[in-house]
Amino acid sequence: MQRLSVSSSSLESIVTNDVAATFEWSPLAAWKWQHSCHINILENYATLKLFREVAKKGGDIRFCYLGDSHVSRSAIARGRSSSHALRPGLSKIASLCIAFGLYPAGRFCPTRLNPGDGPSRQTDIPPPVHESLLRGFWSSKVQAVYALETLPKLRRWVSNWARLVLLQCPVVASALLFCDEWRVHPLLPVSTHELSLDFDSTLGFPGEGPAFLSWIFFWIFFLSSQFGSLSVKVGTGASHGDLQRKTARAGIFLGDGRRVTDTTKFTRDWLYGVFESWLVEKGLDIHAVIYANPPDVDLLNKVLVDFGRWLFAEGKPYYHYSETINSISSRRPALRRSMQQAWDLAFMWGSHEPTSHHIAMPVQILVAFLATALSWGWSREAAIFALAWGALLRIGEVLQAKRSDLTLPQDVGGTIDFALLRIWEPKTRYRAARHQCGKLEQPDLIEVIRIGLGGLGLSEKLWPFSGATLRLRFAKIAMRLLLPCRSDDTPKPMSLASFRPGGATHLITTTESAELVRRRGRWISNKVMECYLQEVESTTYLNEVSAECRDRILKSLAVFPLLLQHVRNLKMCKIPEQLWFCYLSRQVP
């Protein structure tokens, strides 16, 4: 059998419980509080009223009182408390005790046995029980009662069982009367040293001394076997929750290192193979470089630095070097903080080739895109553009979303004035929140999304075609607006990745709240967010394009409200989108 350790320490005393349950009590005073207050404060003032009644009888007295508030009783015993609310009452009690010579001894009495609890609930005080420890055998055994009171305070169930055993089997009390004579081997069939405490200076070695609690537990189980069954489920078998978790984890293998996406894992494995091939060409063994025990940190850093310089000379992109280092650290985590020299080369590489971020799309160009797309009958494309820009979404997050992931005000009866898009696989799902969403609040953009996507079925994808098709239509609109389209144009051309930084830049410009922008964009840190905020480039972009392009953008911006109203009517009348251009070209100047 496996030994069990059951904690029995708490606040209840067997003697105090017996006094509260077996003595006859009568109410001395009853009142109703005029104001509501915390229960601990009320307990303090109720005790103060009791002390005043004792003081009226002359003072200079030692007396005992029962209370079911451990906080109040302890604070009165100490005379102080860290709670400012309790201090006024404690000050009055302390002054009263000093002035009248009161020496109170507070005893904890559980609420179920507290005689004063009945009148406070507008009920009578329960009648006393007949069986008492302080009568009969115990009435002449003052030393046994004192020894019983010196026992540790017990939990409710232990205290009840202990009192029952002492009432039914008074002979057990002999253990308290003749404690010095019990330094012998136990007579019980249960080995006492399995239940008693370890050696100390008062009880001797295990198996010796008055193991009173051992007797108590023995008689508890003995009586339970006679009058009922007391079953305790013991074992190491699987619980209901274990079975559920085991089923949910079926087929999941916990690999080494940190969890990354499948694409990142594939890239790192491929680059690790390239690094291994390069080592073979240099006549080095990868096990001697990476898996040496103890690791040769200097050799590893030197090899990585040489490999990085070779990649730089061969014209490879920066991520080939950085992901190679990450691949090695994931295979040998002990080296993660020992490759500073290799990372120094990576920082040097980055200083010569600073990262170029995607151009942020200004709000004027967004509106021009939406106006052109709607006039051509491309309502779905316009909705995708508006959603990506307004909710600060990565374009891939929009492309893989379905209508069931999009919540519009019309979907909930107009009880909200914003739109939400649930994101199934966020880029930062392994480092930040697993469940993320994009939020859009601009009313015009919500209307564009409603026109383009509101009528889709729940199982339909927001964009049913390929990403290349969406990029092609984006390029056609940019060409129509005379925006730069080639990589060597000035200013740099925009792409589908321009919506997210453009929406973030517009939001920081209008709200001046960096924390709001960070939460909306779901960036982990402000440092990452600042890469997307391009206030200067977004503002000056229109000044760098041709005059004819700027003129078309501003005209589209001016006619957008009227155009949106006509498109709303066409959608309401269920006019095919192929006819929108013919109608709008005559209605909108």
Each residue's pLDDT, cut to its tens digit, for the chain (589 residues) gives 445 566 777 888 888 888 888 888 888 888 888 888 888 888 888 898 888 888 888 878 888 898 888 898 889 988 888 888 889 989 999 998 998 899 999 888 888 888 888 787 778 888 888 877 776 555 556 666 776 777 778 888 888 888 887 777 766 665 655 555 545 445 444 454 444 444 444 444 444 544 555 555 555 555 555 554 444 444 455 566 788 888 888 888 887 777 787 888 889 999 999 999 999 999 998 888 888 888 899 999 999 999 999 999 999 999 899 999 999 998 888 888 889 999 999 989 888 876 667 788 999 999 999 999 999 999 999 999 999 999 999 999 999 999 999 999 999 999 999 999 999 888 777 777 778 999 999 999 999 999 999 999 999 999 999 999 999 999 999 999 999 998 888 888 999 999 999 999 999 989 989 899 999 988 888 877 877 777 677 778 988 999 999 999 999 999 999 999 999 999 999 999 999 999 888 877 6
Contact (Cβ atoms closer than 8 angstroms) between residue 79 and residue 37: no
Domain shared by 375 and 468, yes or no: yes
253 found inside a domain: no
Token digits for 23? 């003595």
Domain shared by 336 and 373, yes or no: no
Residue 200: strand pairing partners: 204
Contact (Cβ atoms closer than 8 angstroms) between residue 96 and residue 136: no
How many residues are given for the chain? 589
Domain shared by 512 and 462, yes or no: yes
Task: Give the neighbor-by-neighbor strand order of the sheet with 419-423.
Answer: 406-407, 419-423, 436-440
Angstrom CA distances, 317 to 312, 314, 355, 492, 493, stand at: 8, 9, 11, 20, 21
Give the N- to C-terminal CA distance of the chain in Å, as an integer: 92
Model-level pTM? 0.52
Domain shared by 322 and 197, yes or no: no
SS3 154: strand
147 found inside a domain: no
Domain shared by 459 and 407, yes or no: yes
Count of domains for the chain: 4
Q: What burial letters (b/e) apply to 283-306, b meaning 16+ CB within 10 Å?
A: eeebeebbeeeeeeeeebbebbbe
Domain shared by 271 and 388, yes or no: no
Full domain range(s) for residue 39: 24-120
> How far is the C-alpha of 362 from the C-alpha of 359, rounded, in Å?
9
SS3 293: coil
237 found inside a domain: no
Q: What is the pLDDT of residue 195?
A: 47
SS3 423: strand
Domain shared by 410 and 541, yes or no: yes
> How far is the C-alpha of 251 from the C-alpha of 481, rounded, in Å?
53
> How far is the C-alpha of 289 from the C-alpha of 310, rounded, in Å?
18
> Among 406, 463, 414, which residue's Cα sits nearest to residue 438?
406
> How far is the C-alpha of 469 from the C-alpha of 58, rounded, in Å?
98
Domain shared by 388 and 494, yes or no: yes
Question: Which CATH number is 502's domain given?
Answer: 1.10.443.10
> Among 20, 23, 15, which residue's Cα sits nearest to residue 149?
15
Domain shared by 287 and 164, yes or no: no
5 found inside a domain: no
